[in-house]
Amino acid sequence: MKPLYQYHLSRLVKARIKLSQNLLLTLGLSLGLGLFACSSNAADEVSTNSSDIERGAYLMKIGDCVACHTAVGGRELTGGLPFETPFGAVYSTNITSDKDTGIGKYSYNEFFDAMHHGVGVNGNLYPAMPYTSYSLLSDEDTKAIYAYLMSTKPIKQANLDNDVSFPFNVRFGLKAWNLIAHDAEKFAPKKDKSEPWNRGNYLVNALGHCGECHTPRDSLFAMEQDKHFQGAVIEGLEASDITPAELNRQNWTHDDLKSLFTEGYSRKGTVFGGMYPVVYHSFSHLTDADMHAVSSYLLDTDETIEAKPLTFNGHQRELPGYNLYMGYCAGCHSQNGEGRPNVAPAMAGNATLDKASPHNIVAVMLKGIKSQHYNTTTSFYAMPGYADQLSDEQLKDLSNYLRVTWSNQPGDVDVDTIHDLKEVIFEHD
């Protein structure tokens, strides 16, 4: 029987092939039928009330606008960050209040349409802008975010041209995509759930737009809602399965999630890749009440969860991965996997090891992790990548050693799997 991760891997490859075919079909439909889908909001006013602006600033942080709308080394909210898509690079735009290059000329109605329907003043937005999630935002919160953005200092910085290939550069096709793949539903609290749970649902799914990365996408590149939060591969890394079932299986507690979202590390490991800017710019700013709401929703309970002992099954010196661990890893992660504060996370209890797929274990070993800074007392130095040092055989041995020693996952990773994973992991390099 094939391991579960092999199923996911083959599914991903098939989906990618089908993706291009279906998008071409969608584009053709749109050009032929001239489909149009957009609605506008009644109110068209900007609040200058300081409490609205302050609330908008908070919502903007939790919505994580900065992470995407700020280039590496660039000025905040001026855009320019590239997003690698299967169709080419899409660049985020300037959303400061500058009237020429930013969104200063946007009326509230136009801003609402961009946020909720993906329709900007210059045409349809690529769904790299998560309007498919922001559409759940309340009108009140959209107004507060608008009020904040209009209060920002206008910074003149021209937007970069997207590098999207034909026919995907014809934005008209996005109208058809929206009609098929975007359901602009209103957020509706569930009556059988607690208030924190519902607040968490709103924060996670509307503002936090977590599903955009953590939900797999179908052949039309739309989120597969029946697989909500079951994990997906983004730019070579696996955005984890964050369903309550999986998080509870791994014994995440409210405190663990709070620690992870506040300082980037926890009893269950650290964030890396695209989650670092999410934590740094966004979730680390959650109020305590909202943090509890988020964890209540993700864990599907607002009751205390008991933290069970972390898994360490003891070393097995006879396994080929043992010497590799001692030679390459133990210096930072410690001999028994305890880790070192501000240097390297513990292996025991590490959620990355305790996943069915070895994808992220292999990705991290190959590419390392960039250094992370959270505040004056919490930073992590970079983990080196070992793509030039470790053979596929060694990657297999080390992956299996980590899994059987510090998780209850089987040591069933084979060389073919390593080979297949490397193709996905290095695809965008």
Partner 1 sequence: MSQSIKLTINNQAIGPIDVGDGTMMIEFLHEYLNLTGTKFGCGAGVCHACTVIVDDEQGMSEVVRTCINGVERFNGKRIRTVEGHAKQNAQGEITALSPVQQTFLEHFSFQCGWCTSGFVNESTALIERLERKPIAKDNVEQVIEDALGEHVCRCTGYVKYYAAMKDLILKTEGLTLS
Residues contributing to the site for partner 1 (CB under 8 A): 317, 323-324, 326-328, 330-332, 335, 340, 343, 381, 384, 388-389
Q: Is 309 exposed, middle or buried (0-12, 13-18, 19+ CB in 10 A)?
A: exposed
Tell me how far, at minimum, the Cβ of 312 lies from partner 1, in Å. 15
Output 157 or 400, the one with its CB closest to partner 1. 400
Output 312 or 381, the one with its CB closest to partner 1. 381
Tell me how far, at minimum, the Cβ of 81 lies from partner 1, in Å. 24
Tell me how far, at minimum, the Cβ of 388 lies from partner 1, in Å. 7
**Nearest residue to 256 (alpha-carbon basis) of 299, 289, 195:** 299
Q: What share of the chain is helix, strand, coil (3-state, %, to 5)?
A: 45, 10, 45
Tell me how far, at minimum, the Cβ of 339 lies from partner 1, in Å. 12
Instruction: Give CA–CA dist 308/246, Å, rounded.
Output: 15
Output 169 or 323, the one with its CB closest to partner 1. 323
Q: Are 148 and 53 in contact (CB under 8 A)?
A: yes
Please give, one letter per residue, the 3-state secondary structure of 247-264: HHHCCCCHHHHHHHHHHC
Locus of tokens 């020693």: 405
**Nearest residue to 92 (alpha-carbon basis) of 75, 113, 104, 105:** 75
**Nearest residue to 219 (alpha-carbon basis) of 26, 24, 15:** 15
Output 13 or 326, the one with its CB closest to partner 1. 326
Tell me how far, at minimum, the Cβ of 293 lies from partner 1, in Å. 36
**Nearest residue to 115 (alpha-carbon basis) of 70, 166, 182, 191:** 182
Output 34 or 327, the one with its CB closest to partner 1. 327
Output 384 or 410, the one with its CB closest to partner 1. 384
Instruction: Give CA–CA dist 229/297, Å, rounded.
Output: 12
Contacts of 276 (CB under 8 A, 6+ apart): 264, 370, 372
Encoding tokens for residue 154?
């206008």
Quote the crossing angle between the two packed helices 139-151 and 108-117, to the nearest 10°: 120
Tell me how far, at minimum, the Cβ of 389 lies from partner 1, in Å. 7
Tell me how far, at minimum, the Cβ of 82 lies from partner 1, in Å. 22
Instruction: Give CA–CA dist 295/23, Å, rounded.
Output: 36
Tell me how far, at minimum, the Cβ of 336 lies from partner 1, in Å. 9
- The three-state secondary structure class of 66 is helix
**Nearest residue to 67 (alpha-carbon basis) of 89, 95, 86, 88:** 95
Tell me how far, at minimum, the Cβ of 284 lies from partner 1, in Å. 23
Output 83 or 381, the one with its CB closest to partner 1. 381
Output 22 or 379, the one with its CB closest to partner 1. 379
**Does residue 410 have a cis bond before it (omega within 30 degrees)?**
no
Output 34 or 331, the one with its CB closest to partner 1. 331
